[in-house]
């Protein structure tokens, strides 16, 4: 679904201004987010900025949003990035119109322009078709017949039982009249792949198909969207068990809603990437590819990469997910482009919790996530490729996360350079003893227009950020890195202890900080409830 844009007010800058902005555009909306893109011209020194405030159209109260991010296309060799300011509002209400006000300034030219626009979030996919046609099913034969003859508005209801085989739905529904495949019991209505070695237990080809309230088990791929340019897929309240791949796609699609599912793959922690040379790195839990996708409140374990955005993706949301184990990455933003958002997720037992290898321009928001027990790097700001052919990451915004590692408080080892990023107000918590001692931070990669500030670190030690090395935190602050950061005097989490080895499976952890932790640091604040992770 493309979002109509209404520009209401434009207070024009002086005619002599060298810098200027074009007409704002909106990315595809999701039920929780709005993505904004504002073209910029004539700003050779790249110092134009845009602040953001917004309110629901029926509310008198304005709220400040994150300032728009300056995209640097010169750092994106893969193409696709533009000269623009871009950013997102997220955590919004579905199917709601918002007034958004951008104030753009550029000190050298005197540019000072206010742009007001109306933008709306998408609706959550409807529960039932507007014109439902109930089709009860109680056998494999009846299920195949219902799928073959499906038309918009059909609600194919599966009685409890085991339906063995592979199943395919070719037809499309509509936004108002989706085709719904629904089990009568989430646990007792079962599609069983009979341990097939190369199959999709359930596949769909059309738009506006909803799969709900059943179990898919015992096969290579659990569910796969085979359609190209399809829209409006919903998979919710589904259990996918004993599969190599959970929920996947064949081609680009749009506006999927994949939420409140439980997925269990075949890999068991502490099996992880370095242990067998990455043989299972492509065993993927949930994959989306395209734009406007929502992946929320799933419970995922036993896959190589648990959550994945595809190449060139824009305007995808990943929030409220519980990742219990990931042989490789908990969240992979590799080759994503801009206005992709990862917020309020919890990841434990991952080789590397969050990968941006690379992000192509951004912004990629990594906000208020908890990541506990990792083998390697909490933030994988790596290139894809080597030497002159390397595609390096650009555009990561890492704010208010909590990372707890048995390896090092912050580790990032690569010869590549990360560009145009901001790491701020996070908690980086390491072990008391480490193979990297005496270092608290070992960040060997190059840093180009990257900021580390306002973060909290434990325990004490030496620090390396690119070419900068410091024997103490105070010495580090004198270099200009972490001028507003904090060296914590004690292990900062109230209901956790320092980790000593990644080989032990960590259960979902409470990241509430102790009273000694300054307010504003980390994913969870004192006196506030933790976000809800996993199915609602």
The predicted model gives 171-184 an average pLDDT of 98
64 SS3 class: strand
CATH assignment of 6-120, given 2.60.40.10, 2.40.50.140, 2.120.10.30, 3.90.640.10?
A: 2.60.40.10
The predicted model gives 425-446 an average pLDDT of 95
Residue 311: pLDDT band (50, 70, 90) is very high
Query: For position 80, what pLDDT does the model report?
Result: 84
**Helical residues (DSSP H) of 467-536, grouped into ranges:** 473-478
- pLDDT score of 8 more than 80: no
Query: For position 283, what pLDDT does the model report?
Result: 98
The predicted model gives 388-405 an average pLDDT of 95
Query: For position 389, what pLDDT does the model report?
Result: 83
DSSP letters for 366-416? EES-EEEEESS-SEE---BS-GGG-B--EEEEEES-EEE-SS-SEEE--SS
**Which of 5-19, 165-179, 268-282, 354-368 shows the lowest mean pLDDT across its residues?**
5-19
pTM > 0.85: yes or no: yes
Rounded to whole angstroms, the Cα distance separating 203 from 457 reads 47
Closest CA to 355 of 332, 386, 330, 378: 332
Share of the chain above pLDDT 90, in %: 92
The predicted model gives 392-397 an average pLDDT of 98
Query: For position 393, what pLDDT does the model report?
Result: 97
Q: In which element (H, E) is residue 145 found?
A: helix 140-148
Q: In which element (H, E) is residue 169 found?
A: strand 167-169
Report the first-to-last Cα separation within the chain, whole angstroms: 26
Residue 18: pLDDT band (50, 70, 90) is confident
The predicted model gives 403-418 an average pLDDT of 97
Instruction: Write out the two tokens for 240.
Output: 């996918």
Average model confidence (pLDDT) for the chain?
Answer: 95
> 479-490 pLDDT, tens per residue?
999 999 999 999
Rounding to the nearest 10 degrees, give the CA dihedral for residues 393, 256, 26, 358: 0
Closest CA to 416 of 371, 452, 453, 379: 379
Any idea what the Cα angle at residue 454 is, between residues 411 and 107, rounded to 5°? Answer: 115
Query: For position 144, what pLDDT does the model report?
Result: 98
Share of the chain above pLDDT 70, in %: 97
- pLDDT score of 527 more than 50: yes
Query: For position 17, what pLDDT does the model report?
Result: 46
Query: For position 6, what pLDDT does the model report?
Result: 46
Rounding to the nearest 10 degrees, give the CA dihedral for residues 172, 150, 237, 122: 30
Rounding to the nearest 10 degrees, give the CA dihedral for residues 239, 244, 249, 251: 180
> 494-526 pLDDT, tens per residue?
999 999 999 999 999 899 999 999 999 999 998
> 43-85 pLDDT, tens per residue?
988 999 999 999 999 999 999 999 999 999 999 988 889 999 9
Rounding to the nearest 10 degrees, give the CA dihedral for residues 102, 106, 107, 109: -130
Task: Pick 11 or 241 by higher pLDDT.
Answer: 241
Residue 207: pLDDT band (50, 70, 90) is very high
Query: For position 4, what pLDDT does the model report?
Result: 41
Query: For position 529, what pLDDT does the model report?
Result: 87
- pLDDT score of 3 more than 50: no
> 106-164 pLDDT, tens per residue?
998 899 999 999 999 999 999 999 999 999 999 999 999 999 999 999 999 999 999 99
């Amino acid at each position: 679904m493309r979002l109509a844009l209404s520009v209401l007010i434009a207070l024009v800058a002086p005619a002599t201004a060298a810098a200027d902005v074009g007409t704002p555009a909106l990315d595809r909306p999701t039920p929780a987010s709005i993505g904004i893109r504002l073209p910029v011209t004539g700003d050779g020194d790249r110092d134009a900025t845009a602040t953001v405030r917004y309110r629901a159209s029926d509310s008198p109260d304005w709220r400040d949003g994150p300032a728009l991010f300056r995209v640097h296309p010169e750092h994106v060799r893969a193409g696709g990035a533009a000269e623009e300011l871009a950013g997102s509002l997220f955590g919004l209400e579905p199917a709601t119109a918002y007034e958004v006000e951008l104030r753009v300034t550029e000190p050298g030219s005197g540019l000072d322009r206010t742009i007001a626009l109306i933008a709306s979030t998408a609706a959550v996919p409807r529960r039932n078709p507007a014109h439902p046609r109930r089709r009860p099913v109680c056998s494999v034969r009846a299920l195949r017949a219902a799928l073959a003859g499906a038309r918009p508005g059909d609600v194919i209801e599966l009685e409890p039982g085991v339906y063995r085989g592979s199943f395919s739905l070719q037809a499309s529904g509509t936004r108002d009249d989706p085709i719904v495949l629904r089990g009568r019991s989430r646990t007792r209505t079962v599609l069983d792949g009979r341990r097939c070695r190369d199959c999709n237990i359930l596949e769909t080809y059309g738009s506006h198909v909803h799969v709900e309230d059943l179990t898919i088990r015992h096969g290579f791929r659990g569910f796969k969207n085979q359609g190209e340019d399809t829209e409006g897929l919903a998979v919710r309240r589904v259990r996918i068990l004993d599969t190599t791949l959970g929920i996947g796609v064949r081609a680009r699609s749009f506006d999927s809603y994949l939420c409140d599912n439980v997925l269990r793959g075949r890999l068991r922690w502490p099996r992880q990437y370095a242990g067998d040379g990455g043989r299972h790195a492509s065993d993927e839990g949930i994959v989306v590819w395209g734009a406007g996708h929502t992946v929320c409140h799933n419970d995922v374990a036993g896959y190589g990469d648990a959550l994945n955005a595809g190449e060139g993706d824009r305007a995808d949301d990943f929030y409220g997910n519980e990742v219990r184990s990931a042989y490789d990455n908990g969240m992979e933003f590799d080759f994503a482009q801009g206005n992709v958002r990862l917020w309020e997720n919890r990841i434990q037992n991952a080789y590397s919790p969050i990968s941006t290898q690379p992000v192509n321009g951004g912004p990629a928001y990594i906000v208020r996530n908890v990541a506990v027990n990792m083998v390697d790097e909490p933030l994988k700001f790596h290139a894809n490729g080597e030497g002159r052919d390397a595609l390096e990451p650009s555009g990561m915004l890492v704010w208010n996360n909590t990372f707890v590692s048995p390896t090092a408080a912050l580790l990032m080892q690569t010869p590549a350079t990360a560009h145009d990023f901001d790491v701020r107000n996070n908690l980086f918590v390491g072990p008391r003893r480490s193979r990297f001692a005496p270092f608290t931070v070992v960040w060997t990669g190059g840093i180009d227009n990257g900021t580390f500030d306002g973060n909290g670190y434990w325990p004490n030690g030496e620090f390396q950020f690119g070419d900068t090395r410091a024997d103490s935190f105070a010495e580090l602050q004198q270099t200009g890195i972490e001028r507003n950061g904090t060296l914590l005097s004690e292990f900062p989490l109230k209901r956790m202890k320092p980790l000593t080895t990644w080989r032990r499976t960590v259960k979902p952890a409470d990241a509430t900080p102790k009273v000694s932790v300054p307010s504003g640091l980390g994913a969870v604040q004192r006196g506030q409830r933790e976000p809800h992770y996993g199915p609602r």
